[in-house]
Amino acid sequence: MNKIHPLASVHPNAKLGDNVEVGPYAFIDDNVTIGDGCVIMPHAVVFNHVKMGKNCTVYPGAVVGAIPQDLKFEGEESWVEIGDRVNIRECATINRGTKASGKAVTKIGSDTLVMSYVHVAHDCCIGNHCILVSYTGLAGETDVDDWATIGGKSGSHQFSHIGAHAFVGAVSRISKDVPPYVLAGREPLSFEGVNRVGLSRRGFSEEKINEIKDIYETIYFKGMNVSQALEYIEANFPATEERDTILRFIKGSDRGIISKPRERR
């Protein structure tokens, strides 16, 4: 049975699952689907064209599904799609997609934490188990792969890509792609090593972490350019899921990847 506060505003066409709670002064618009067990707290706003999975929580002041802040937007139908068990904290904003991108959808994966005052712009794609720390701003069409963490007050250039299991330090300017499994920090944003602590917590063996470390040592510190390093890795490192994830990411990078630390250039 749902618990809808009498001071909440829920559009009659909104589709709410079972055991949904909606607090006072919360607003849920038309063309919204809210999954089982979700909590929409007081003063939270869910505009139209939002699909939300199960057991999500939207905290006070958060706004999900506002039209994109993109001059190419012409009022077309576009969406926000949110997975299961997503926490959207106070005053975070998640905008709809645009047709100009060819996607027309902004996506947030399951088990992701969007902390207070985070902004996720149009057509971003955030993976599963990600953490976006407070005051982070992601420009349009930023992709963040599974298990990545972006430190507080960081900002991404549009079309940026942050790889799986990467950790980006606080107050970072993300203007180049951040490859999988790495630590990134400083200004300009640079490779600072492998995300050893994060990988260990997620069950990666010491042997596997060292394999990833050796691959990045080859890319950054063996005197080769990126193309040469990738050819060397493909020829000399055994094919593994991690090796292939790194190769695929870097080969597919349009913006180019972050550079090595300044003192080791």
- Helix ranges (DSSP H) in the chain: 196-201, 206-221, 226-236, 241-251
- Which residue in the list 29, 84, 123, 143 is annotated as catalytic? 123
Which pair of tokens denotes residue 152? 């507080």
Contacts of 213 (CB under 8 A, 6+ apart): 193, 194, 196
Is the CA virtual torsion 166, 118, 35, 102 positive or negative? Answer: negative
- Which residue in the list 23, 65, 137, 140 is annotated as catalytic? 140
- Which residue in the list 119, 122, 129, 161 is annotated as catalytic? 122
Q: Does the annotation count 122 as an active-site position?
A: yes
Q: Does the annotation count 102 as an active-site position?
A: no
What does the DSSP assignment read for 79-114? EEEE-SS-EE-TT-EEE---GGGT--EEEE-TT-EE
Q: Does the annotation count 49 as an active-site position?
A: no
3-state secondary structure of 45: strand
193, 258 contact by CB (below 8 A): no
Which pair of tokens denotes residue 243? 């090796």
| Euclidean distance between the first and the last CA atom of the chain, given in angstroms as a whole number | 61
41, 60 contact by CB (below 8 A): yes
The CA distance from 228 to 214, in Å, is 15
C-alpha closest to that of 97 among 70, 81, 78: 78
Phi, psi at 214, each rounded to 5°: -65, -35
The catalytic residue positions are 122-123, 140
